Amino acid sequence: MSSPALALRHPRLSAVLPYLALIGGMVSLSAGTSFAKTLYPMVGPAGTAGLRVGLSAIVLLAVFRPWRSAFTTGDLRALAVYGVVMGLMNLSFYMALNTIPLGVALAIEFMGPLSVALFNSRRLIHFVWIGLAVLGLVLLLPLDGNVSGLDPVGCAYAAAAAVFWAGYIVFGKRVSHLPSGSTVAIGMTFAAMTVVPFGVAGAGMSLLDPRILALGLVVALVSSALPYTLDMVALRHIPKRTFGVAVSGDPAIGALAGLFVLGEHLTSQQWLAIAAIIAASVGAVLTSPSDEQPLQDPAAPA
């Protein structure tokens, strides 16, 4: 049965699928980011980012073969901006992880999508959910006296990642009317053209080591190819404000993954943070008015 026919016969399933795609993308990204840190001692953050994005581009090109799709010059320009922003978002975040804790980097980076949510908010209740999400992110920060000693360069990289993440949401919406698979494949190719040179400069020929390539392929599939494809499905149907608040559940998913996969025990404050973030995400979805449509503007300039 085709997807359109399935959607017609099961409208409730059709309505919830974009949110399932969003959750699936966050889970996959969280797992992939954790695994990616095993590559740091071997190729460094830039090399890890280069492997992740470069191998993702190769896989997506092979799977979706975007050259079979008809894209206009304007489409390709928009896809180039989308891809460059996506690549710089990945590179900045991996560079941040090299010098500051993961929790702090995530909290800083999530200011990007939350800023998008704030910019697109119109009702008082929307600001309540944003405030709740911010509260949860603040509670996740390790406010135990170590924050004052954070590396300023690492914080700057995390702040840059926040800016690029906001751009990823905005420019991703502008190409979300295009075929999802081909869109992500071309976007990831532009991302690879942006990031791989930094990886080569940082790690050199060690990137071609078979063992490192195998590990990089796993990272590419789990932390880029799959989650960004699912993101594009979500972006096509979810309003920017709702998307921006809902993805704030990513740190909570990461914390839960640490509990169940790595056996990391959470404090009561961290559980409170997770509850606040999940409540904000669910609240944003439930209070999204039925007539608030996702941005679909094929003519929008990139």
How far is Cα 29 from Cα 173, in angstroms, rounded to an integer? Answer: 20
Average pLDDT over residues 25-33: 79
* Beta carbons of 189 and 57 less than 8 angstroms apart: yes
pLDDT score recorded for residue 212: 92
Q: Does the pLDDT value for residue 2 go beyond 50? A: no
Task: Determine which of 122-126, 155-159, 185-189 has the lowest per-residue pLDDT on average.
Answer: 122-126
- Residue 35: closest CA among 207, 219, 217: 219
How far is Cα 141 from Cα 163, in angstroms, rounded to an integer? Answer: 19
- Residue 220: closest CA among 90, 124, 123, 95: 90
Residues 6+ apart with CB under 8 A from 165: 89, 109, 110, 112, 113
Q: What six digits make up the tokens of 128? A: 């309540």
Mean residue pLDDT across the chain: 78
Q: What six digits make up the tokens of 34? A: 């954790």
How far is Cα 117 from Cα 130, in angstroms, rounded to an integer? Answer: 7
How far is Cα 69 from Cα 186, in angstroms, rounded to an integer? Answer: 11
pLDDT band, very low/low/confident/very high, at 291 (cuts 50, 70, 90):
very low
pLDDT score recorded for residue 167: 92
pTM of the model: 0.75
Q: pLDDT tens digit string along 227-256?
A: 877 877 787 777 766 776 777 677 677 667
DSSP string, 142-181: -TTT-GGG--HHHHHHHHHHHHHHHHHHHHHHHTTTS-HH
Average pLDDT over residues 95-121: 78
Residues 6+ apart with CB under 8 A from 37: 97
How far is Cα 140 from Cα 157, in angstroms, rounded to an integer? Answer: 19
